[in-house]
Amino acid sequence: MTSKVTYNGALRTSCVHIRSNNSIITDAPVDNNGKGEAFSPTDLVATALASCMLTIMGIKADSKGIVLDGTRAEIVKTMSAAPRKISAIKVDIHFSKFDCSDEDKKMLEKAALACPVAKSLHSDLAQDVTFHW
C-alpha cells in the first residue's frame, strides 16, 4: 500500500504516506465550493509534475557530479470548466548558481520532460515547461 486517504468532511481529506507516516491535508479550492486552506487534489497533481521533474533531474545530475541544490520550480495550474479538469500546467524551473555545459543542460531538460509524472498525464493536458538557466 502506498497511502491512505480519509475524508474528514467539509471537502477536506487527510492523506498519510504509509512508509514514512508523513501526512498532508487537501481542501477543495475556493472556486469549487471549498475553503482553499490547503493544496487541492489538482494542486497536488501540478505540484507532483514539478517535483518529479526536479527529482529526475537530480538523479541525472548526481550521476554526472552536477549540483542542483537550490533549483526551484514555480507552477501555475489552469482548470477548464466543462468538463472540470486540469487543462494546462506551466512549470518554470529556475537554477541557482548553475554552471555546466550546454550538453549537460540538454541532458537535464530531456530528463525533466521524460519524468514519470509527465508521461502519466493525459496528452490533452498542456505541459508548458521553461528552463531558466
Confidence of residue 98 (pLDDT cuts 50, 70, 90): confident
In Å, how far are 61, 98, 111, 118 from 69, measured between CA atoms?
10, 9, 17, 22
Q: Identify whether residues 72 and 104 lie together within a single domain.
A: yes
Shared-domain flag, residues 85 and 56: yes
- Mean pLDDT, residues 77-94: 96
Q: Note the pTM of the prediction, 2 decimals.
A: 0.94
Name the residue range of residue 19's domain.
Answer: 3-32
- Beta-ladder partners of 24: 15
One domain, residues 15 and 75: no
Looking at the structure, do residues 126 and 103 belong to the same domain, yes or no? Answer: yes
| pLDDT at residue 63, as a whole number | 95
> Residue 100: which pLDDT band, with cuts at 50, 70 and 90?
confident
Q: Residue 103: pLDDT band by 50, 70, 90 thresholds?
A: very high
Same domain, 127 and 62: yes
Per the structure, the count of domains in the chain is 2
Q: Above 80 in pLDDT, residue 97?
A: no
Is the peptide bond prior to 83 cis by the omega test (within 30 degrees of 0)?
Answer: yes
124 and 70 in a single domain? The answer is yes
Task: Please check whether residues 89 and 125 belong to one and the same domain.
Answer: yes
The predicted structure's pLDDT at residue 96: 86
DSSP string, 73-112: EEEEEEEEETTEEEEEEEEEEE-SS----HHHHHHHHHHH
